[in-house]
Structure 1
Amino acid sequence: MWKKGFVGVELLLLLMLVCSSVLLVVDGLRRDEYPPDFVFGASTSAYQVEGAADEDGRKPSIWDTFAHAGNANMYKGNGDTGCDQYHKYKEDVQLMTKMGLDAYRFSISWSRLIPDGKGPINQKGLQYYNNLINELISQGIQAHVTLHHWDLPQALEDEYGGWVNKKIVKDFTAYADVCFREFGDRVKHWTTMNEGNAFAEGGYDIGFLPPQHCSPSSIFNCSKGNSSTEPYLVTHNMLLAHASAARLYRNKYQFKQHGFIGFNLITYGFVPLTNSSEDITAVQRAQDFYHGWFLNPFTFGDYPETMKKNVGSRLPIFTKSESNLVKGSIDFLGINFYFSFYVKDNPRSLYIKERDYAADIAAEFIVYTSNEASTDEIPITPWTLQGLLDSLKNIYGNFPIYIHENGQQTHRNSSLEDWPRINYLQEYIGSILHMLRNGHDIRGYFVWSFMDVFELLSGYEFTYGLYYIDLKDPTLRRQPKFSSVWYSNFLNNRTMDPMVAMQIEKNSLLQKSI
């Protein structure tokens, strides 16, 4: 009798929770604690979600080439089909609307819009992005657009070497001009480059990312490249291309479109391995090489003195006009944050005869781990994110920041009950509230990623999505994970701890079955 009665009472309570119109709030986060203009969203990129790789006039990018060549033998797969957002964008926007997103960060495929990188516009590509943007705007969702997300048109790589050649500045500016002209009446947030620092290091020093340039001594067997010089040359050209596009936007479009233009970096939490002065100095050097590499030119018009000293003549020199062009060319900084590292001084690397970018830093990096996380999970370290932002604020000023990517990885075939992701989001979103109250000018937070995508470092083996994509289903059905339920509850001021979120989701399913 007790068991039967208990079940009946439990069922009644569950139904009351489901049917109640009263917002359930428990100790935890609330969306309305954040500034009213603070933006919460989710992110993806073109090659990772669009699919339709050879449809309607699109031509290959360097990421297509990299994937079809075997992803540097790290994993299998490609983005030919991806999540098929090219055909399913209306369905995806409806999911975003249901979730309650303020914004969606996506990228434009340069080789879909201008297949050869320069020259004629592909009208079908133009129509696709117009359709996607219009669908977002009609649902009250802001479109935050990235122009280059690891996917330079292969045609420009073949013609003159892509980012290693200064010709890229003119072609990128012309591409940006098309985007500003065609979409700028509805797009107010433009990011020129995604992870400029990681693109230069991974693609042109280590050689395990597109376009896979590196010296012959690298273990990734690149067919071309020079790890000692190309990362610096590519970064210099990216800075000039960004600044050229920013000048164009400000002179031709910003006064009537009222938008903003920024740049994105991958950022890390750096912690000295010991309290020695050598390791503390190594942390400062790592910050200069990874963050100051771009932020010093944006703020002061030149590279950090540490880089000038260690890199020497291999580091390009800004002319006076280039320095003036780059300085002050960002309205905001986009940051992607996942990992933290212990840093140990390693002066011996400076004695390597033909040093690459990694050796120039003269430091060893040890991934921060936590006993609380499994070996596959990214440790949750919001305190290092706060330390990073404190450091950037002290050195470069309190400029506007958007956290463009932040999220937890899980195995693709793990449970939809993705507790590690819920815990991860809860901790970081909560830490941002603390940072805002401490005076940081953070304007928005985007979860990576809206759905399971083709990942740059793991293909389809690991995922970060709020929605699961069933790759075996011909329709690529989207299934909500519990993290999407938690995020939606938070965005709609139904904030509750993970256990309550799970219970409400189960209650909803129970009600439908009655």
Structure 2
Amino acid sequence: MEAAKSVLGLSLFSIFQLNLVVSAADIYSRNDFPPGFVFGASTSAFQYEGAATEDGRTPSIWDNFTHPGNMHGANADIASDGYHKYKEDVQLMAHTGLDAYRFSISWSRLIPNGRGPVNMKGLQYYNNLINELIRNGIQPHVTLLHADLPQALEDEYGGWINRKILRDFTAYADVCFREFGDRVLHWTTLNEPNVFVLGGYDIGFLPPQRCSASSPLNCSKGNSSTEPYMAAHNILLAHAAVAKLYKKQYQDKQHGFIGLNLCSYWFVPLTNTTKDVIATQRANDFYIDWYMHPLVYGDYPSSMKKVAGSRMPPFSNYESKQVKGSFDFIGLNFYLTMYVKDYPSSLEMEHRDVLADMALELLLFQYNASTFEYPILPWGLKRFLEHFKEAYGNPPIYIHENGQRTRRNSSLEDWPRVEYLNAYIGSVLDAIRNGSNTRGYFTWSFVDVFEMLDGYESSYGLYYVDMDDPDLRRYPKLSAKWYSEFLKGKSMDRNGVIQLNDTSFLDAQFTH
């Protein structure tokens, strides 16, 4: 403990007082949210579990991506060691007061070859985790695939650019529904396919690192002009196939729900010119409507089809009917609001990728590069939720990820994260009061994990994981204290001072 305290330059037994001013004019508490509204926190298998080669697990595309040292020399072989420390972490969840925990299943831990025999050790781990959550009154919300496709399937037939993936993903989902569905009521098929497709098949900076040879990253394989559209198409068809399976064979017996997750942004025109306003709509089309339009209306946005032409695979009538309406809820990951600037010259390129098809530039609002912190703009989330209500018929929504990024070893007194959570949870309440059908909020992340953009350079956790401690001991940050106080009913003043003078919550954690 002393080592961790000295590294962070923090006296944990000092009195915390937070002077917090945010843009709203009322006091709110969790009691102001609708009955049944769920508050939780999230992690994902690859980023949290570790135990990369234990008990029959085989590599995913993320294991192969990180081992050459692509992430500042770091990998997730150990990560937060959730594979061994899940019981301790569930106790922290219960102490914090979480209603729910969102996590993903490692496909290559459960079915090491991507298809075929189930790994009984992997099956036992997820059964143990789910049972531990249930015993502590915490709802399990499960994502089937959080980007970590088994490397075996990528090697065999190219993963998501091959329609064979539909069969294997559906068979994997069938195992999960059959084995865990008696206790899991909320299933998400895939996490952030819109980011996965752009990062993995267009730009190539994420696995499976496919892009055109002319790309700045000079990938060894891939085609940025066609493969992102192919992968997205197969993802939508696979999601629809899994949703059909669940609804046909399991939903009546298990009484659960199934949905898809998207990374979401609120886009704002850089200027009030017509060209930037139109570019902003185009940004929504390419980032959100690419997936939501087929899910709600059965086809891609006309603007995308016009620009991409024959590079965008068409839906058959049968496929359109399968995809349309194939969700009970939508999960959204929201962190940022961005300016949009028109960039029409990219459409003049002879061999365009998806980014060129967008014909726009995205610009961050003020961002603190020295601290890694995101700007706190809660109105962006509120407006996005209200837009979602108007554009897609107000479907049930779960905020699956929302949180503040900081440098990993900055401080346990993570004031920016407290301010961020306070502001954005308040914005969710504002959107609900304006009619949004948002039903849950999960902060990213419960503990510090391996981050998929920069390894262990940054963190989002409520709990710090001491990577220099062989036991990877957890330490609560101030945000854990704040979230716990909120979850236990304390009112939050969104236009004044929040005082966190009681350190007993923090002190109690160090007695474990």
Per the TM superposition, whether the score is higher than 0.5 is: yes
Structure 2 letter corresponding to 1:477: R
Q: Secondary structure of 2:326's match?
A: coil
Counterpart pick for 1:81 among 78, 82, 107: 78
1:124/1:494 Cα in 2 relative to 1: closer, same or farther (>3 Å)?
Answer: same
Match of 1:68 in 2: 67
In the alignment, which residue of structure 2 is the partner of 1:365?
Answer: 362
1:305-340: CA deviation from partner (whole Å, max 9, x where unpaired): 000011111000000100000000011000001112
Secondary structure (helix, strand or coil) at the match of 1:225 reads coil
**Aligned match for 1:469, one of 459, 465, 471:** 465
Equivalent residue number for residue 224 of structure 2: 227
Whether 2:434 is the aligned partner of 1:438: answer: yes
Determine if contact 1:113/1:122 at 8 Å carries over to the other structure: yes
Q: 1:116 aligns with which of 108, 113, 117?
A: 113
The TM-score, its normalising length taken from structure 2, stands at 0.92
Q: CA deviation at 1:218?
A: 1.8
C-alpha contact (below 8 Å) 1:486/1:501 kept by paired residues: no
Match of 2:40 in 1: 41
| In the alignment, structure 1 residue 189 sits paired with structure 2 residue 186 | yes
Alpha-carbon offset, residue 485 of structure 1: 0.2
Separation in 2, partners of 1:505, 1:211: 45
Structure 1 segment 163-312 matched on structure 2, within 5 A:
163-312=160-309
Give me the whole-angstrom Cα distance separating, in 2, the residues matched to 1:126 and 1:197: 29
1:161 matched to 2:158? The reply is yes
* Native 8 Å contact 1:271 1:283 kept in 2: yes
**Which structure exhibits the higher relative contact order, with contacts defined as CA atoms closer than 8 Å and separated by 6 or more residues?**
2
> Partner of 1:453 in structure 2?
449
Match of 2:149 among 144, 152, 156: 152
Mapping for residues 488-499 of structure 1, pairs under 5 Å:
488-496=484-492
With 390-399 and 479-488 compared, the bigger mean Cα shift is at 390-399
Deviation at 1:75, TM superposition (A): 2.1
Instruction: After superposition, give the CA deviation of every residue in 1:8-38 in whole Å (9 maximum; x if it has no partner).
Output: xxxxxx99xxxxxxxxxxx743111111200
Q: 2:153–2:159: 8 Å Cα contact kept in structure 1?
A: yes
1:75-130, Cα deviation, whole Å (9 max, x unpaired)? 22111001111011100000000000000000000000000000000000000000
- Summarize deviations over 1:16-62 as a string: whole Å, max 9, x none: xxxxxxxxxxx743111111200000000000010100000000000
Which of 318, 332, 336 does residue 335 from structure 1 map onto?
332
SS class of match (1:210): coil
Q: Do the aligned residues in 1 keep the contact of 2:80 with 2:449 (CA within 8 Å)?
A: yes
Distance 1:164 1:355 in 2: 18
The alignment's C-alpha RMSD in Å is: 2.1
Maintained 8 Å contact 2:367/2:375: yes
Tell me how far apart the structure 2 counterparts of residues 508 and 67 of structure 1 sit (CA, whole Å).
34
Tell me the distance in 2 between the aligned counterparts of 1:36 and 1:225.
Answer: 48
CA displacement 1:139-164 (0-9 Å, x = unmatched): 11000000010100000000000001
Give, in whole Å, the separation in 2 of the partners of 1:477 and 1:237: 41
Alignment match, 2:341 = 344
Structure 1 residue 432 displacement after superposition: 0.9
What secondary structure, in the 3-state scheme, does the structure 2 residue paired with 1:475 have?
A: coil
Structure 2 residue aligned with 1:426? 422
One-letter amino acid of the counterpart of residue 55, structure 1: E
Q: Give the alignment of 1:126-141 within 5 angstroms.
A: 126-141=123-138
**Which residue in 2 is equivalent to 1:53?**
52
The runs of 4+ residues in structure 1 deviating greater than 6 Å are none
Aligned to 1:503: 501
Quick one: distance in 2 between partners of 1:370 and 1:235?
A: 30
SS of 1:503 mapped into structure 2: coil
Cα offset for 1:494?
A: 2.7
Q: Secondary structure at the match of 2:187?
A: strand
What TM-score comes out, normalization by structure 1 length?
A: 0.92
Letter in 1 for 2:500: M
Please tell me whether the aligned partners of residues 75 and 459 of structure 1 are also in contact (alpha carbons under 8 angstroms).
yes
Paired letter, 1:287: N
8 Å CA contact 2:367–2:373 kept in 1: the answer is no
SS at match of 1:152: coil
- 1:10 equivalent in structure 2: none
Q: CA deviation at 1:384?
A: 1.4
Q: Which residue of 1 aligns with 2:23?
A: none
Task: Describe the SS at the equivalent of 2:399.
Answer: strand
| 2:480 aligned counterpart, secondary structure | helix
Structure with bigger gyration radius:
1
| Greater displacement, 307-316 / 211-220 | 211-220
Structure 1 residue 491 displacement after superposition = 0.1
Letter of the 1:48 partner, please give it. Answer: Q
**Maintained 8 Å contact 1:149/1:193:** yes
Relative distance call for 1:509 and 1:158 in structure 2 (3 A) is: closer
Residues 152 and 507 of structure 1, relative CA distance in 2, 3 Å threshold: closer
The one of 483, 487, 494 equivalent to 1:487 is: 483
Counterpart residue type for residue 36 of structure 1? P
Cα pair 1:102 1:141 within 8 Å, conserved: yes
Aligned partners of 1:336 and 1:474: how far apart in 2? 32
The alignment status of 1:403 with 2:399, answered yes or no, reads: yes
How far has the Cα of 1:495 moved from its partner? Answer: 3.8
CA contact under 8 A between 1:485 and 1:501: conserved in structure 2? no
Decide whether the 8 Å contact of 1:486 with 1:495 is kept in 2: no
Give the Cα separation in 2 of the matches to 1:184 and 1:507: 35
Secondary structure at 1:293 match in 2: helix
- Per-residue deviation, residues 159-217 of structure 1 (Å, max 9, x unmatched): 00000100000000000000000000000000000001001000110011111111112
Seen in structure 2, the aligned counterparts of structure 1 residues 406 and 508 have a Cα distance that, compared at 3 Å, is closer
Report the Cα distance in structure 1 between the residues aligned to 2:506 and 2:142, rounded to whole angstroms. Answer: 35
Structure 1: give runs of 5+ residues left out of the alignment.
1-13, 16-26
- Where 1:262 maps in the other structure, the secondary structure is strand
Structure 2 unpaired stretches of 5+ = 1-13, 16-25
Give the AA of the match of 2:220: S
